[in-house]
Amino acid sequence: MAGPDSPSPASPGTASADALHRRGLMFILSSPSGAGKTTLARRLLAHDGEIRMSVSVTTRPIRPGEVDGRDYHFTDKAQFEAMVTGEHFLEWAHVFGHSYGTPKSQVKAGLRAGHDFLFDIDWQGTQQLYQKLETDVVRVFLLPPSIDELRRRLTARGTDAAGVIAERMERAQAEISHWDGYDYVIVNDDIDTCFAKVVQILAAERMRRARQTGLIPFVRGLMKPDS
- 34-67 tens-digit pLDDT: 888 989 999 999 999 999 999 999 999 998 899 9
DSSP conformational letter for 31 = -
Tallying the residues shown for the chain, one arrives at 227
Confidence band of 33 (pLDDT split at 50, 70, 90): confident
Q: Which residue in 132, 227, 127, 219 sits closest to 182, CA to CA?
A: 127
Structural domains present in the chain: 21-207 (3.40.50.300)
Residue 7 is predicted with a pLDDT of 42
Contact between residue 45 and residue 52 where contact means Cβ atoms under 8 Å apart: yes
- 15-24 tens-digit pLDDT: 555 568 999 9
Q: What is the mean pLDDT of the chain?
A: 88
Confidence band of 13 (pLDDT split at 50, 70, 90): very low
Contact between residue 144 and residue 151 where contact means Cβ atoms under 8 Å apart: no
Higher confidence at residue 95 or residue 114?
Answer: 114
Does position 75 have pLDDT exceeding 90, yes or no? yes
Residue 56 gets the label, from left (phi > 0), alpha (psi -120 to 50) or beta, of beta
Residue 18 is predicted with a pLDDT of 58
- Mean pLDDT calculated for residue range 173-195: 95
Does position 111 have pLDDT exceeding 70, yes or no? yes
Q: Which residue in 16, 95, 114, 18 sits closest to 56, CA to CA?
A: 95
Confidence band of 187 (pLDDT split at 50, 70, 90): very high
Which value, in Å, is the radius of gyration of the alpha carbons in the chain? Answer: 21
